Structure 1
Amino acid sequence: MEHIVIIGNGISGVTAARHIRKLSDKKITIISSETEHFFSRTALMYVYMGHMKFEHLKPYEDWFWKKNRIELQQGFVKTIDVKSKTLHFTEGFTMTYDKLVITTGSKPNKFGWKGEDLNGVQGLYSKQDLENLEIYAPNNKTCRHAVIVGGGLIGIELAEMLNSRNIPVTFLVRESSFWNGVLPQSESEMLNKHIKNHHIDLRLSSNLKEIISDQNGKVKSIIIQETGEEISCDFVGLTTGVSPNIDFIKESEIETKKGVLVNRFLETSIPDIYAIGDCAEQREAIGNRPVIEAVWYTGRMMGETLAQTLCGNKLEYKPGHWFNSAKFFDIEYQTYGWVFPEPKENHAHFHWIHQDDSKCITMEYNTITNEFLGINTFGIRMRHEVFDTWLSEKQNIDYVISHLEAANFDPEFYKHFEKDIQASFKKTLQTI
């Protein structure tokens, strides 16, 4: 019986295993060094905030794996011998495979800062990170002040988590405005205000120079590069992005760059070895998508696609139109299609913002053809399937503006602001 081994039990690997089982009777083994059972990584923050318990993060009961004949192996793969198709574990045992799926996810970036490995300094990615947060930042008595380094989605999540326990936070963001490498200026500036309104000490254009230790090997302060200011703190969150977790692969014959290189069929340079999820890097970008997609839903899609290939129906990975979602404290964010920080050539932005400065939309469209190209929404929940259809149909911007009600989860909101949005769009056209 063919043995398929999956290294990593995140959304990509588990989705692949589930769909392989639906399609076949192959032997399946999932290897994990983090936890015995799969959990929803994106919901870790809600455990710390008291909304959930860790067991609520497990989508499947513990008996699910045995019932579905998916074997679970705890251990850390040290090396891969591609010639003998053998995995060597740090624990001393080995395992052979017929087909191998590498789905080892990401690891938080570190940039060689002095003190980055001190106690009380960590990222926010793993279950172990969650457990360490309870040690070093359980409340505002043990942790009188926290510093977060890095202004991405994980950084804002960690700020919200600490804020929920009334721990004062200083937020170092190297950019001149929050997330302005992704968002148009108006949206980025709205988030700057929103973060500050939640009593976060937001420091823009600020880089970390070093982390200072106390006499016990624990963080006691940080130094800001630009000003030399020292800020006392009991906890430092390093949220400067993530990188593919592939250190153990770099000594093998599997071709890598930042991630494990794969083609459109998610095949690596070695026959019978595949890579999916955050650790996979496309040899050629798919449209405007990054070659490494550290996004939950694309990991799931890769798992579903690869399962078909492994079960005899070779399938190309086609992720479709880009979309993503996140939350900035109490403002929900969604994006469909492409809205760039600055409009591309022959493109323009239509931007509407509500007077309360917490709801807005930005659309990008082609000024020559009027084709609708993408939308960002803040504080307004939209329907994915509607925008997916409009993008496939290449609808024009006028059509989208006049039919927004069809895409809105909250029709009452749309009716209330319909005239304002349409008047704003008409005014935008008159000034182009």
Structure 2
Amino acid sequence: MEHIVIIGNGISGVTLARHIRKLSDKRITIVSAETDYFFSRTALMYVYMGHMKFEHTQPYENWFWQKNRIELLRGYVHEIDTDNKVIKINERDALAYDKLVIATGSKPNKFGWPGQDLEGVQGLYSKQDLDALEKNAPNNDICKRAVIVGGGLIGIELAEMLNSRNIPVTFLVRESSFWNGVLPKGESAMINRHIENHHIDLRLSTNLKAINADENGKVKSVIIEETGEELACDLVGLTAGVTPNIDFLKSSKIETGRGVKVNRYLETNIPDVYAIGDCAEQHEAIGNRRPIEAVWYTGRMMGETLAQTLCGNRIQYKPGHWFNSAKFLDIEYQTYGWVFGERGRPDYEKHFHWKHEDDTKCITVAYHKDTNEFLGINTFGIRMRHEIFDTWLTEKRDVDYVMNHLSKANFDPEFYSHYEADILSAYNNQLQTA
């Protein structure tokens, strides 16, 4: 019986295993050093905030795996011998495979800051990180101030988590405005104000120079690069992005760049070895998509796609139109298609921006300045329907059509009706002054 070994029990690896089992009777083994069972990584923050217990983050009961004949092996893979089709686990055990899938996800970036490995310095990615946070910041008596380094989505999650326990937070963001490499100017500025309104000390255009230790080897302060200021703190959250978790592949023959290099079929340079999820790096561009996408739903899609290939129906990975969602404290964010930030925006891309007077809701619509083709939309504080925008992008609708039918895409038309007239009026005014 063909044996498929999957390294990593995140969303991509587990989706792959489930779909292989639906399609075949192949032997399946998942190897992971993080946890015994798959859990929803995006739910970790809600465990810390008290909205759920860790067991509630596990979508499947523990009996699910045995019933579906998916073997779970707890251990760390430290070597892959592709010549003999063997992986080595925990520096002693060996496991043979017929097909191998690397789905090891990401790890937090570290940039060589002095003190970055001290006790009390951590990321927010794994179950181990959640456990460390409970130890390092259980309350505002133990943790009198936290410093977060890096202004991305994980950083804003960590800020919200600490805020929920009334732990004061200083947020060091290298950019001149929050997440302005992704968000257009108006949206980024709104999020700056929203962070500050939650009593978070937001420091823009600010870099970390070093992390200082106390006499017990625990973090006691950070030094700001630009001013030399010393900030006392008990926790440093490193949230300056993630990078593929592939260090264990360095001695193998598997080709790597930033991630594991794969083609459109998610195949590596070695026969019978594949990579999916955050750790996979596309050889050739897929439209405007980045070579590495550390996004939950693309990991799931890669798992579904590769399951078909491994079960005899070899198909390309086709992720479709870009979509993502997140939360900035209590403001929900969704993006469909392409809406570029200030950096890297194509010359042809024009924006319509509307913001509600309460400063917590806005939309930005991107369209082609010559053809008026609808290119994408960002929404903040207004929930939209994925399938509607997906259809409009496929049909290449023009921006006038989208704006005049925006209520069809809204998740809650009654709620949206409060803003529809204002949005259309602002759009028509922009057309007249353009």
Structures share fold, TM-score greater than 0.5: yes
1:59-98 correspondence to structure 2 within 5 Å: 59-98=59-98
**Distance in 2 between residues matched to 1:418 and 1:248, nearest whole Å:** 53
TM-score, normalising length from structure 1?
0.99
**Distance in 2 between residues matched to 1:141 and 1:242, nearest whole Å:** 30
Identify the residue that residue 326 of structure 1 maps to in structure 2.
326
Matched, 1:4 2:4: yes
Identify the residue that residue 371 of structure 2 maps to in structure 1.
369
Identify the residue that residue 346 of structure 2 maps to in structure 1.
344
**Distance in 2 between residues matched to 1:347 and 1:283, nearest whole Å:** 26
The amino acid that maps onto 2:163 is N
3-state secondary structure, aligned to 2:432: helix
RMSD: 0.6
1:248-267 correspondence to structure 2 within 5 Å: 248-267=248-267
**Distance in 2 between residues matched to 1:89 and 1:346, nearest whole Å:** 51
CA contact (8 A) 1:363 1:374 kept: yes
**Distance in 1 between residues matched to 2:39 and 2:275, nearest whole Å:** 20
**Distance in 2 between residues matched to 1:149 and 1:91, nearest whole Å:** 34
CA contact (8 A) 2:190 2:359 kept: yes
Kindly provide the CA deviation profile for residues 339-393 of structure 1, in whole angstroms up to 9, marking residues without a partner as x: 0014422221000000001000000001211110000000000000000000000
The amino acid that maps onto 2:257 is K
Identify the residue that residue 416 of structure 2 maps to in structure 1.
414
**Distance in 2 between residues matched to 1:151 and 1:346, nearest whole Å:** 28
The amino acid that maps onto 1:367 is K
1:83-162 correspondence to structure 2 within 5 Å: 83-162=83-162
**CA deviation after TM superposition for structure 1 residue 87, in Å:** 0.6
Identify the residue that residue 13 of structure 1 maps to in structure 2.
13
**CA deviation after TM superposition for structure 1 residue 419, in Å:** 1.5
CA contact (8 A) 2:382 2:416 kept: no
CA contact (8 A) 1:372 1:395 kept: yes
**Distance in 1 between residues matched to 2:52 and 2:250, nearest whole Å:** 38
**Distance in 2 between residues matched to 1:355 and 1:79, nearest whole Å:** 57
Structure 2 gap ranges (5+): none
The amino acid that maps onto 1:111 is F
**Distance in 1 between residues matched to 2:416 and 2:353, nearest whole Å:** 16
1:89-238 correspondence to structure 2 within 5 Å: 89-238=89-238
**Distance in 1 between residues matched to 2:22 and 2:319, nearest whole Å:** 21
CA contact (8 A) 1:106 1:243 kept: yes
The amino acid that maps onto 1:341 is G
The amino acid that maps onto 1:356 is D
**Distance in 1 between residues matched to 2:321 and 2:165, nearest whole Å:** 38
The amino acid that maps onto 1:362 is T
**Distance in 1 between residues matched to 2:74 and 2:369, nearest whole Å:** 55
**Distance in 2 between residues matched to 1:341 and 1:249, nearest whole Å:** 34
**Distance in 2 between residues matched to 1:347 and 1:93, nearest whole Å:** 55
The amino acid that maps onto 1:323 is F
Kindly provide the CA deviation profile for residues 204-236 of structure 1, in whole angstroms up to 9, marking residues without a partner as x: 000000000000010000000000000000000
The amino acid that maps onto 2:346 is K
Residues matched between the structures, number: 432
CA contact (8 A) 1:371 1:396 kept: yes
**Distance in 1 between residues matched to 2:18 and 2:433, nearest whole Å:** 53
**CA deviation after TM superposition for structure 1 residue 7, in Å:** 0.3
CA contact (8 A) 1:75 1:91 kept: no
The amino acid that maps onto 1:297 is Y
Kindly provide the CA deviation profile for residues 234-270 of structure 1, in whole angstroms up to 9, marking residues without a partner as x: 0000000000000011211000000000000000000
Q: Which of 351, 362, 368 is matched with 1:360 structurally?
A: 362
**CA deviation after TM superposition for structure 1 residue 426, in Å:** 0.9
